[in-house]
């Protein structure tokens, strides 16, 4: 099996190192020339909760060659239309593209490469890019080796190819096949909407959201909008760590204090996290906000479901993108305070 990692950044460097060490014929594809050069010259190095290195082959996108049997898609969704069109000549009829991106990109990916080629995937570990050729594993090593990925067919079936891909990814870490991978990705989308989106919109860590009454109340409303949109799209939300994500839906205003308490308990271990979208704003880069919080309004609009909180997150993050600046917490929190007051009047 010939494998490509399309978008070999922080996560892809780690995946590439372990697959290469496992004897897989793999090519890491990335636009960052200095990173590609370092990978080829000194190998892929993993630091952090473990120390590991392996020689790898890396190329820039213009130097792709041959045909790939499996492509692990780790680029940002911003670039899907371009990178997937460019990938088509390098796919066989039975090649597989495993979407490992944030959000729920599968429909868009399938529209370009063909639905029969697509399986869904979810990365269950964290990493940070350190320098060309080097990535830091931030997840505890035992957890990483036990639970690195979830993958699944879009229709939930257990197939021979999903088992074959599972055996490849097991060389990296624990890979679990789900019969509701779409539900898993929606559950992760909900957390990203409520906390990554707010982290970017307010310029704060997750703990800043947990500790501020307006911010955490807004997170509850963002989660509720996401659940309602998902249900309208016939999504069955998957449990996360045994927790029923769909139970966060609001049925009345009286539910809000309980949902706040639940969020504060569930998200406490993640209080030091800062959204990658906020890091993008700090670097004056475009974010994936359209593919995170922006997914909910796109789906809800035709269903008559209001999504004012997700709308506001998108608006504030896009304003920061256009200004090439980072948001000010004290300024932007006022927009959420105003929205909450309006909700009470309604």
Residue 24 binned pLDDT confidence (cut-offs 50, 70, 90) = very high
- Tell me, letter by letter, the H, E, C secondary structure of 55-117: CCEEECHHHCCCCEEEEEECCCHHHHHHHHHHHHHHEEEEEEEEECCCCCCHHHHHHHHCHHH
End-to-end CA distance of the chain: 58
Residue recorded with tokens 């539900």: 183
The domains of the chain, with CATH numbers, are 2-179 (3.40.50.720), 183-344 (1.10.1040.10)
What pLDDT, in 10s, does the model give residues 124-170? 888 889 999 999 998 889 989 999 999 999 999 999 999 999 999 99
β-strand partners of 70: 3, 96
Which pLDDT value is given to residue 272?
83
Residue 3 binned pLDDT confidence (cut-offs 50, 70, 90) = very high
Token couple for 148: 């690195």
Which pLDDT value is given to residue 270?
85
pLDDT above 90: residue 197: yes
* Cα distance between residue 207 and residue 90, in whole Å: 44
Which pLDDT value is given to residue 241?
72
What pLDDT, in 10s, does the model give residues 259-303? 999 999 989 888 888 888 998 999 999 999 999 999 999 999 988
Regarding predicted confidence, which is higher, 209 or 266? 209
* Cα distance between residue 289 and residue 23, in whole Å: 37
Kindly state the percentage of the chain with pLDDT values over 70.
99
Average pLDDT over residues 115-119: 97
Which pLDDT value is given to residue 178?
92
Radius of gyration of the chain measured on its C-alpha atoms: 20
Other C-beta atoms within 10 Å of 33: how many? 11
119 with 153: CB under 8 angstroms?
Answer: yes
Which pLDDT value is given to residue 345?
62
Q: If you average pLDDT over every residue of the chain, what do you get? A: 95
29 with 59: CB under 8 angstroms?
Answer: yes
Is the Cα torsion angle 310, 316, 322, 325 positive or negative in sign? negative
């Amino acid at each position: 099996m010939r494998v490509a990692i399309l978008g070999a950044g922080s996560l892809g460097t780690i995946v590439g190192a372990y697959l290469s060490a496992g004897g897989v014929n793999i090519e890491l594809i990335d636009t960052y020339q200095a990173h590609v050069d370092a990978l080829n010259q000194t190998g892929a190095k993993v630091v952090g909760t473990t120390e590991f290195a392996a020689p790898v082959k890396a190329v820039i996108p213009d130097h792709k060659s041959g045909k790939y049997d499996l492509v692990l898609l780790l680029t940002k969704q911003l670039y899907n239309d371009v990178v997937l069109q460019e990938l088509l000549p390098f796919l066989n009829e039975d090649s597989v593209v495993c979407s490992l991106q944030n959000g729920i990109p599968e429909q868009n990916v399938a529209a370009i490469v063909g639905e029969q080629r697509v399986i869904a995937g979810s990365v269950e570990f964290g990493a940070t890019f350190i320098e060309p050729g080097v990535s830091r594993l931030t997840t505890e090593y035992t957890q990483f080796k036990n639970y690195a990925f979830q993958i699944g067919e879009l229709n939930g079936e257990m197939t021979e190819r999903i088992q074959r891909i599972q055996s490849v990814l097991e060389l990296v870490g624990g890979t679990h096949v789900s019969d509701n991978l779409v539900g898993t990705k929606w559950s992760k989308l909900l957390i990203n909407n409520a906390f990554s989106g707010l982290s970017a919109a307010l310029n704060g860590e997750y703990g800043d959201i947990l500790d501020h009454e307006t911010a955490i109340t807004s997170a509850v409303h963002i989660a509720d909008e996401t659940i309602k949109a998902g249900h309208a799209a016939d999504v069955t939300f998957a449990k996360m760590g045994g927790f029923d994500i769909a139970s966060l839906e609001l049925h009345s205003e009286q539910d809000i204090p309980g949902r706040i308490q639940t969020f504060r308990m569930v998200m406490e271990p993640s209080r030091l996290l800062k959204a990658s979208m906020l890091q993008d704003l700090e670097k004056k880069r475009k974010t994936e906000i359209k593919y995170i919080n922006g997914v909910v309004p796109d789906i809800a609009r035709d269903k008559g479901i209001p999504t004012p909180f997700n709308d506001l997150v998108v608006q504030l993050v896009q304003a920061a993108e256009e200004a090439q600046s980072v948001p000010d917490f004290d300024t932007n929190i006022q927009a959420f305070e105003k929205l909450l007051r309006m909700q009470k009047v309604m």
